[in-house]
Amino acid sequence: MFMGNAKDPEGRWFVGIGEPLLHPSDVDIPLNKQTFLTRHSPDMKCEYVDDSIKSFLGYSPTDLIGKSVFEFHHALDGQALARAFKSLYAKGQSITERYRFLAKHGGWVWVVTQATLMQSSNGSKPNSIVCLNFVTSGIENEEEIMSSVQKERTICKPIKSVVPEFKKVPFVPTRSEMDKTEVKYSDKENVVPEIIQESKPITSTKTVIAPRTDDMDSGFLMPLDN
């Protein structure tokens, strides 16, 4: 916010508002609808992830357990996050700028993370890091895949095979099996149709030429003159 002042020729003042960082032990459970909780080892690998992360980013807790939180941020926000976590180890608490937390099926969500360093019981070294993650937007650029931790959403159902399944493979005899098979020949009566068996050729000579008689030698057949 800027306000005018006679001493400033451009009439500018800066007004800032400071808020104390919450300690995880002072956080009310359950968290509000736009917040999820995570716990990390000193090297920032996830040890616990709130179930509510699924409604914001699509991940189940098991998707993040054992993986570094730095695998899930946008590459362009890497330097800003590195500065925030260096401050965390120096001061014990830190808050990040708005950065892009990659969503499971593509795109990202803008998040602000407040991190607290938890000491071991004897206070000699840090035991874990607890992060309150405040979601400040919905999923943006959902069609973009920025990292191998993201998976494309399956839109189409798998196509069923169009090749019919044969319950029984058809039997094709081999040459050796055919040689072993005894061939049985059927009787003629069972093979040749009855109409063909009875249709025998009949000569027509007897019906055209009359039978020879004794008279034919005397009258019909005359010897030729020399």
pLDDT tens profile 153-176: 555 555 566 566 656 666 666 666
- For the chain, the domain total comes to 1
Does 5 fall in a domain? no
The pTM for the full model equals 0.57
Does 14 fall in a domain? no
Distance CA 53, CA 139 (A): 13
Does 4 fall in a domain? no
Distance CA 28, CA 91 (A): 24
Summarize pLDDT for 53-80 with one digit per residue, the tens.
999 999 999 999 999 999 999 989 999 9
Does 150 fall in a domain? no
Does 178 fall in a domain? no
Distance CA 211, CA 59 (A): 116
pLDDT of residue 213: 65
**CATH assignment of the domain containing 92:** 3.30.450.20
Distance CA 137, CA 169 (A): 59
Instruction: At 88, list the tokens.
Output: 């965390």
Does 192 fall in a domain? no
C-alpha distance from residue 92 to each of 30, 99, 121, 144, 189 (Å): 24, 21, 15, 35, 109
Report strand pairing: 46-49 vs 35-40.
Answer: antiparallel
First-to-final CA distance of the chain: 162
Summarize pLDDT for 28-40 with one digit per residue, the tens.
555 668 899 999 9
Distance CA 107, CA 103 (A): 6
State the residue range of the domain holding 50: 24-135
Does 207 fall in a domain? no
Which of 1-5, 6-10, 195-199 has the highest mean predicted lDDT (pLDDT)? 6-10
pLDDT of residue 143: 86
Does 158 fall in a domain? no
The number of helices, as runs of H, and strands, as runs of E, in the chain is: 8, 6
Q: Which amino acid is at 106?
A: G
Distance CA 197, CA 169 (A): 43
